[in-house]
Amino acid sequence: MQEKLFAITPGLTEASTHYCPGCHHGIIHRLVAEVLDELGVLDKGILVEPVGCSVLAHNYFAMDTIQAAHGRAPAVASAVKRVHPEAVVLTYQGDGDLAAIGCAEIVHAAMRGEKITTIFVNNAIYGMTGGQMAPTTLEGQVTATSPFGRKNAEAGRPIRVAEMLATLDGPKYIARVAVNKPANVNKAKAAIKEAFTRQIRGDGFTLVEVLSTCPTNWGLSPVKANQFVEESMMPYFPLGVYKDEEGKQ
Amino acid sequence: MSEKILIKGNEAIGEAAIRAGCRYYFGYPITPQSELPEYMAKKLPAVGGVFLQAESEVAAINMVYGAAAAGARAMTSSSSPGFSLKQEGISYIAAAELPCLLVNVQRGGPGLGTIQPGQADYFQATKGGGHGDYRLLVLAPNSVQELFDLTVEGFDLADKYRMPVLILADGALGQMMEAVSLNVKTAPPVAKPWAVTGRQGRKETNVVNTLSFDKDASEQTNRDLKQKYDLISRQETRCEEFFTDDADVVLVAYGITARIAKSAMEKARAQGLKVGLLRPVTLWPFPAADLLRVAGTAKAFLVSELSTGQMIEDVELAIRCRKPVYFYGRTGGNIPSTEELYQQIVEIVNKGGN
Ligand code: SF4
């Protein structure tokens, strides 16, 4: 008898995604869905999705979902968790959504120690709107709104979200991971699992920042995009665990 | 015997909300409505509710969006500049057809304006405020008792029609103290099978979403909303009338101004002048049919508001410009006196109502 080696995880629907070839959203979706399934909480899961490329995530996750206004997912999720404290609540947000227009919402949800998990997908650009500069765009990076390369003197230095939020007391687990190669995928899954485990335990706010690709707007092939993550993003956005505090608040 | 207490307007809204089963309040402090969040902060924990002071009005309204989507009775309150900040979220809540209660205790504007009472958010409340084709059911109380009653009813109407209901008050009503009977008549709870709760064994997922890439589906959404709004116009339009049957001059005013208008009307009646008052209780839907009927016999209308004249447009539209409409307003925190309004009435009467 043949052994089944790979199948759709129960946390995802059978819909094929609209993401571009080589985009990491699909991998990250799969990891989140696998983790929630392995933790046995799919039935309690509530996804708050952002504005941006993952605005249609409700078509892919087999979970109850609320589509939030641009940047407001942490505020929405804060209320949802207080209405349903037993639920496992996550926001899935990109860098434009979380680090620009929704910066206040994420900082304050983290500060309050909301018992939610944020999956923060950082690809250093605005994807859906056509490749404009994000707060995470690297110095010198060419985008639709930084056609001569981002200049720190004008635009400031890119925000390191994991490091910034780790300075607060509310978060209990913050890590930055990547999914550009199998070893990193495994580490990313472990970090995502740790974040949800902490939420289920009631520790406090948890966030996993995932360095991700946007081959389409970077103008790179999927292979080159993976290299860009490794060679250009990781030196400025180092992988690692930025906050790891035990115990309830 | 019904329980009666002396209570401040803003606090009466809070007490009514709690008695109506609201357990989630999200807001941000702003004068002249801060007694309301303060009241909720004090009272909600004892009934197992949640008071959460948001980092901004923007966050507060999105918390309401989340709690309402999750199936809870939730509310927020603010005053004019703060209410402007909530418009994005209100448009989303209307689009997602989520029930919730909103309160705007208006102050004078525009800009930071004054912390004194105003009624210049009428356009914002009744014509949109946020983007897109949506309406709020707008209730305009004119006493502390009505702040209480309409808050309770507002939650029921929100559930019944799955839409945000706005209590449009003003700083004078919010700050005044009056005796209130705490009799609560709420409708039986409405099932919310659409609520986002986590699937909990459900096969299908519940999704609260306001985005559609399909232009036909998007148009259908707007048609469906319009159909609901038409139904509400037929079923929920409300106003109060005094002596409109034989009045030559009919005052039109809502909220705190309606009380002053009523005193002016009574003074005029005592002088033998045929004056009436029509007070809209719902500002949207606007009591246009009632005004049109009154226009059959009245010679002129006098609109009064704490603005430079916003409701006047709705009155003129309602009566199809068949009779002259005069306006008298005070703004920026000043309120007309009974005498001022009475003088306006006398002038109109002296002109023969034309
Ligand atoms: S635009 Fe970029 S982020 Fe969006 S789906 Fe395509 S590759 Fe992914």
Which two tokens mark A231?
Answer: 């060679």
Hey, is the C-beta of B22 within 8 angstroms of any chain A C-beta?
A: no
Q: Are A100 and A134 in contact (CB under 8 A)?
A: yes
Given the CA of residue A19, which atom of ligand 1 is nearest to it? 5
Nearest to A55 by CA among A90, A97, A21: A97
Q: Which atom of ligand 1 is nearest to the CA of A53?
A: 4
CA distances from B28 to B25, B41, B58 (A): 10, 12, 9
Instruction: Say how far residue B253 (Cα) sits from the centre of its chain.
Output: 13
Q: Whose CA is nearest to atom 1 of ligand 1?
A: A127
List CB contacts of A55: < 8 A, sequence separation 6 or more.
A49, A67, A128, B211
Of chain B, the percentage scoring pLDDT greater than 70 comes to 99
**Cβ of residue A127 lying under 6 Å from some atom of ligand 1:** yes
> Is B59 domain-assigned?
yes
Answer yes or no: is pLDDT of B354 > 80: no
Is B52 within 8 Å of A79 when comparing Cβ atoms?
yes
In a domain, B95, yes or no: yes
Interchain contact B76–A (C-beta under 8 A)? no
CA-CA distances (angstroms) from residue B131 to A81, B87, B95, B103? 28, 8, 10, 19
Report the pLDDT value the prediction gives residue A249, as an integer from 0 to 100. Answer: 46
Is A120 close to ligand 1, i.e. is its CB under 6 Å away? Answer: no
Q: Identify the residue whose tokens are 């609320």.
A: A66
B185 and B309 in a common domain: no
Q: Which residue's CA is minimally distant from atom 6 of ligand 1?
A: A20
My answer on whether B80 and B93 are in the same domain is yes
Do B116 and B230 lie in one domain? The reply is yes
CATH topology of domain A24-244: Rossmann fold (3.40.50)
* A207 at B interface, C-beta within 8 A: no
Number of domains comprising chain B: 2
Residue B320 domain flag: yes
What is the distance, to the nearest Å, from the Cα of residue B240 to the centroid of all Cα atoms in its chain?
15
Assess whether B80 and B162 both reside in one domain: yes
Of the partner residues A42, A75, A79, the one whose CB lies closest to the CB of residue B24: A79
The span from the first CA to the last CA of chain B, in angstroms, equals 50
Comparing CA positions, the residue from B263, B267, B268 lying closest to residue B279 is B263
This model of the complex carries an ipTM of 0.97
pLDDT above 60: residue B162: yes
Residue nearest to atom 2 of ligand 1 (CA): A214
Contact A29, A57 (CB under 8 A): yes
Same domain, B282 and B327: yes
- B266 plus B230 within the same structural domain: no
What is the rounded average pLDDT of the residues B268-282? 98
Helix (H, G, I), strand (E, B) or coil at A237: coil
Instruction: Measure the CA–CA gap between A24 and A16, rounded to whole angstroms.
Output: 14
* Average pLDDT of chain B, as a whole number: 97
The alpha carbon of residue B27 is apart from the nearest alpha carbon of chain A, in Å, by 12
Residue B203 included in any domain: no
Could you report the per-residue pLDDT of B177-202, keeping only the tens digit for each? Answer: 999 999 888 889 999 999 999 999 99
Beta carbons within 8 Å of B314's beta carbon, 6+ residues apart: B126, B286, B288
Ligand 1 pocket mutation pick from A29, A120, A121, A128 by most atoms within 8 angstroms of CB: A128
Q: Are residues B179 and B49 in the same domain?
A: yes
Half-sphere exposure at residue A104, Cβ-oriented, CA atoms within 13 angstroms: 11
- Closest residue to A69, CB basis, from B74, B92, B196: B92
Q: Say whether residue A69 is in contact with chain B using an 8 A CB cutoff.
A: yes
Task: Mark which residues 210-229 of B lie under 8 Å from A by CB.
Answer: 210-211
> Residue A225 in contact with residue A215, Cβ under 8 Å?
yes
| Ligand 1 neighbourhood includes A122 CB (under 6 angstroms) | no
| CB of A228 shorter than 6 A to ligand 1 | no
Instruction: List CB contacts of A93: < 8 A, sequence separation 6 or more.
Output: A50, A52, A54, A73, A74, A102, A106, A118, A119, A120, A121
- Measured distance CA(B62)–CA(A92) in Å, rounded: 16
Alpha carbon distance B231, B23 (integer Å): 29
Please state, in angstroms and as integers, the Cα–Cα distance from residue B162 to each residue in B71, B195, B209, following that order.
11, 11, 14
Q: Hey, which residues does A94 pair with through a beta bridge?
A: A121
Q: What is the pLDDT of residue B128?
A: 87
Q: Find the CATH number of the domain harbouring B296.
A: 3.40.50.920
Over residues B39-54, mean pLDDT: 98
List CB contacts (< 8 A) between A62 and chain B: 199, 205
Determine the Cα–Cα distance for residues B290 and B319; give it in Å rounded to an integer. Answer: 9
Residue B331: inside a domain, yes or no?
yes
Query: How confident is the model at residue B247, as a pLDDT?
Result: 98
Q: Does B72 touch chain A (CB under 8 A)?
A: yes
The pLDDT, as a whole number, for residue A221 is 98
Domain extent, residue B113, equals: 4-194+208-236
Q: Quick one: B146 and B288 in the same domain? A: no
Are the Cβ atoms of A76 and B65 closer than 8 angstroms? Answer: yes
Q: Do B65 and A69 touch (CB under 8 A)?
A: yes
Q: Could you say which of B26, B54, B200 has the minimum Cβ distance to residue A43? A: B200
* Helix or strand run (H / E) with residue A206: strand A205-211
Which residue, among B79, B45, B126, has the nearest Cα to B288 in the 3D structure? B126
> At residue B63, what is the residue type?
M
One domain for residues B216 and B338: no
Task: Report how far apart the first and last C-alpha atoms of chain A are (Å, whole number).
Answer: 51
Closest C-alpha to A51, from A30, A77, A73, A80 = A73
- Indicate whether B199 belongs to any domain: no
Same domain, B71 and B40: yes
Contacts of A58 in chain B (CB under 8 A): 205, 207, 209
Report yes or no: B27 at the A interface, CB cutoff 8 Å.
no
Of the candidates B274, B266, B253, B246, which has an alpha carbon nearest to the alpha carbon of residue B348? B274
C-alpha distances out from residue B256 to B105, B263, B305, Å: 11, 11, 9
A55 and chain B in contact, CB less than 8 A: yes
Antiparallel, parallel or unpaired: β B249-252 and B275-280:
parallel
Nearest residue (CA) to ligand 1, atom 7 = A214
Q: What is the CA radius of gyration of chain B?
A: 21
C-alpha A72 – ligand 1 centre gap (Å): 21
Cα within 13 Å of Cα(B144), Cβ side: 21
Atom of ligand 1 at shortest range from CA of A127:
1
Q: Is 60 exceeded by the pLDDT of residue B220?
A: yes
Q: Which of B112, B156, B205, B144 lies closest to B21, judged by CA?
A: B156
Question: For the segment A161-198, what is each residue's pLDDT rounded down to a tens digit?
Answer: 999 999 999 999 999 999 999 999 999 999 999 999 99
B 277-306 near A (Cβ less than 8 A)? none
A84 close contact with B: CB closer than 8 A: yes
**Residue B201, in any domain of the structure:** no
Interface test with A, best of B209, B212, B214 (most A CBs within 10 A): B209
| Mean of pLDDT values over B305-330 | 97
Quick one: which H or E segment has residue B256? Answer: helix B255-270
B98-133 burial: b if 16+ Cβ within 10 Å, else e: bbbbbbbbbbbbeeebbbbbbbbbbebbbebbbeee
- The answer to whether the CB of A23 is under 6 A from ligand 1 is yes
B300, β-bridge pairs: B249
Contact B154, B163 (CB under 8 A): no
B65 close to A (CB below 8 A): yes
Comparing CA positions, the residue from A217, A191, A220, A12 lying closest to residue A94 is A217
A7-31: pLDDT as tens digits = 999 999 999 999 999 999 999 999 9
For the cut 70, the answer to whether the pLDDT of residue B1 exceeds it is no
What residue's CA is closest to ligand 1, atom 8? A23
Residue B340 is encoded by which pair of tokens?
């001022």
- The three-state secondary structure class of B180 is strand
B200 within some domain = no
Q: What is the CATH number of the domain that holds B213?
A: 3.40.50.970
pLDDT at position A49 is 98
Same domain, B294 and B227: no
Separation between Cα atoms, residue B207 and residue A15, nearest integer Å: 15
From A55, A63, A82, residue closest to B50, measured CB to CB: A82
> C-alpha angle with apex B274: B297 to B345, nearest 5 degrees?
105
Are residue B247 and residue B223 in the same domain, yes or no? no
Give every CB contact of residue B186 below 8 A, 6+ residues apart in sequence: B20, B21, B152, B155, B156
Q: What is the pLDDT of residue A247?
A: 58
Q: Is the pLDDT of residue A202 over 70?
A: yes
Give the C-alpha separation, B154 to A84, whole Å.
Answer: 24
Overall average pLDDT of the A122-141 stretch: 97
Predicted confidence (pLDDT) per residue in A69-125, tens digit = 999 999 999 999 999 999 999 999 999 999 999 999 999 999 999 999 999 999 999
